[in-house]
Amino acid sequence: MTQIHKALEHRTNPKLRDQDPLARVRTAAQELHGAISDAAARRGEEIKFDLEAIPKKARAVTTSLKASLDLQGEATEKHLTEAVKYLEATEQHVADSLKTTGHAFETSVRQAVVDAHAAVQKVSEALAAKRTARAVHYRP
């Protein structure tokens, strides 16, 4: 599936179309984490080639999160703010890794994987907080 098809999938796939926008951001963050993890599993120059697209993807997820910050409740916003920090760190670590080699490169890639995972965790926590707030608000 091409990147364009993936980007438009939420419009055509009924499962994703009905999904909460925050859940779609979580899916994008999970895909970002997967892409970094897959790249980290490779060896040689293939890694750098795979990592070159990651900062752009991280920036896109970060932009989506920032856009939804004002629309969230306080608990959800706290988690999303932390997720943004982790995504920005992910982007920076990947950018650093593209400029280095050897041990410094491996360390940057590993840290990018850790930060991307933490971002996914925070977005998941934000989604859970949002659902909990909605459930409490609508309790009969």
Q: Give dist(CA 131, CA 108) in Å, integer.
A: 34
Alpha helices by DSSP H, listed for the chain, are 3-12, 14-17, 21-41, 46-51, 54-68, 74-99, 102-137
Give yes or no for residue 29 having a pLDDT over 50.
yes
Is 76 within 8 Å of 132 (Cβ atoms)?
no
- 3-137 has CATH 1.20.120 classification: yes
Residue length of the chain: 140
Instruction: Measure the CA dihedral 27/71/121/39, to 10°.
Output: 40
Residue 134's φ and ψ, nearest 5 degrees, are: -65, -40
Q: State mean pLDDT over 22-29.
A: 93
pLDDT tens figures, 51-63 = 898 999 999 999 9
Give this prediction's pTM. 0.80
Tokens read off for 12:
């055509």
Can you give the residue ranges of every domain in the chain? 3-137
Give yes or no for residue 139 having a pLDDT over 60.
no
Give yes or no for residue 5 having a pLDDT over 50.
no
Q: What is the pLDDT of residue 68?
A: 82
Q: What is the pLDDT of residue 114?
A: 97
